[in-house]
Structure 1
């Protein structure tokens, strides 16, 4: 039991060395890279493109609303040959030659100023939504970048821990073969080694997921960004 306590204590000390070596991820943050990722996300992220297209579509409603002031007006003409009798029992006001007329749908005409105003407000709302979306994308890029840096740091820690636990296990195996420690103590070191390697594998998976999420919003592989 005494040997087992020493083994566990030694392993824990080794697994903790690298953790204390890096107490913060802040020095690892590269703000120049972060700004590049934000700019690329604003250019490439699908949600940004969709909202940009939506804003431009709404913008076209403004000139359309201005031109539509002519919609309530309609023109017509009537032609009566000059050789015909002017007197027309059905329409005594009918005369020879061309007759022109303009019709106005008053209800439709009165709606036009409100439709134009609505088009302008819709465009303003779309612009505000666009700005808000850019803010949200900026925050999301930062979140994913910080998580990416965190997972890199975690992977380094667990990789070092796995290497240390492997060294401890190999050392204790030699001591076990020489009869210096018990089988129980040796098995305990193997369990610690297994746990360390399991943690390393989980850290690798977390790192890959964080990298994929950052690349997804940036729109490019990080290795391709100069």
Structure 2
């Protein structure tokens, strides 16, 4: 077997072994459900939109409680004072002193049940919207967590590929200097090394982007999650 063939066989064997090792990488084994549940709880506590939904529920509830006493708006109280020693010939009255008069708006009394019903339904809608948003937020956190794990797994793969390519370049450089391989084979491996570096940079960007997106929902850094 000539020396060029030996070098070629070495590269093929190394590449196949490396690819087989990297193919076994999976982010599923890194999923921590307890940690994920903690992230969901943190997002539900810190994300501003959660507080907006809660304020809307509180406002709707307060309005509903207020409508229960709306009939009092149609209630009017007044008083008349007739001195004991005053004789009114034009409008004689048998009552002396303070006289209390109370009037009630029938229209207000009749419309009040429908007002209460509408306020109650508005309160329910606010609660339903809050529940819907909580489910949506939880799904978003889980999705971004899985995306982050996937990105980190891809980054590990790309980092390993760069290490392998770098090692192969060093081997070929040594072989090329000794005249055991051609410049073409050495140059091809150099190009592969540069490509792997480019892929690793893209993987780094994807990892930081996924981390940033997840932390936006959490309101804190992942490093601060206890």
Q: Is the 8 A contact 1:144 1:214 kept in 2?
A: yes
Q: Tell me whether 106-115 or 160-169 shows the greater mean CA deviation.
A: 106-115
Relative distance call for 1:92 and 1:10 in structure 2 (3 A) is farther
Q: Is the 8 A contact 2:82 2:96 kept in 1?
A: yes
- In structure 2, runs of 5+ residues without a counterpart are none
- In structure 1, runs of 5+ residues without a counterpart are none
The answer as to 2:122 corresponding to 1:135 is no
What do residues 174-193 of structure 1 show as CA deviations (whole Å, max 9, x unaligned)? 22222333333322222111
Instruction: Find the partner of 2:74 among 72, 80, 83.
Output: 72
**In 2: Cα distance, 1:82 partner to 1:202 partner:** 97
Deviation at 1:142, TM superposition (A): 0.8
Paired residue secondary structure (1:71): helix
**In 2: Cα distance, 1:53 partner to 1:107 partner:** 32
Deviation at 1:38, TM superposition (A): 1.2
Deviation at 1:194, TM superposition (A): 0.8
Relative distance call for 1:160 and 1:190 in structure 2 (3 A) is same
Q: Is the 8 A contact 1:4 1:185 kept in 2?
A: no
**In 1: Cα distance, 2:191 partner to 2:13 partner:** 14
Q: Tell me whether 7-16 or 186-195 shows the greater mean CA deviation.
A: 7-16
Q: Is the 8 A contact 1:15 1:165 kept in 2?
A: no
Listed as ranges, the matches of 1:213-224 within 5 Å are 213-224=213-224
Deviation at 1:195, TM superposition (A): 0.7
- Count of residues paired in the alignment: 223
Name the counterpart of 1:190.
Answer: 190
**In 1: Cα distance, 2:117 partner to 2:35 partner:** 43
Deviation at 1:219, TM superposition (A): 2.5
What do residues 110-136 of structure 1 show as CA deviations (whole Å, max 9, x unaligned)? 221111112211111111112111111
Q: Is the 8 A contact 2:173 2:186 kept in 1?
A: yes
**In 2: Cα distance, 1:107 partner to 1:173 partner:** 97
Name the counterpart of 2:23.
Answer: 20
Q: Is the 8 A contact 2:11 2:168 kept in 1?
A: no
Paired residue secondary structure (1:120): helix
Runs (4+) of structure 1 exceeding 6 A deviation are 2-8, 92-95
**In 1: Cα distance, 2:8 partner to 2:170 partner:** 18
RMSD over aligned CA atoms reads 2.8
Q: Tell me whether 111-120 or 137-146 shows the greater mean CA deviation.
A: 111-120
Q: TM-score, normalised by structure 1?
A: 0.86
What do residues 67-122 of structure 1 show as CA deviations (whole Å, max 9, x unaligned)? 2221111112222434443222xx67797543432232322222211111122111
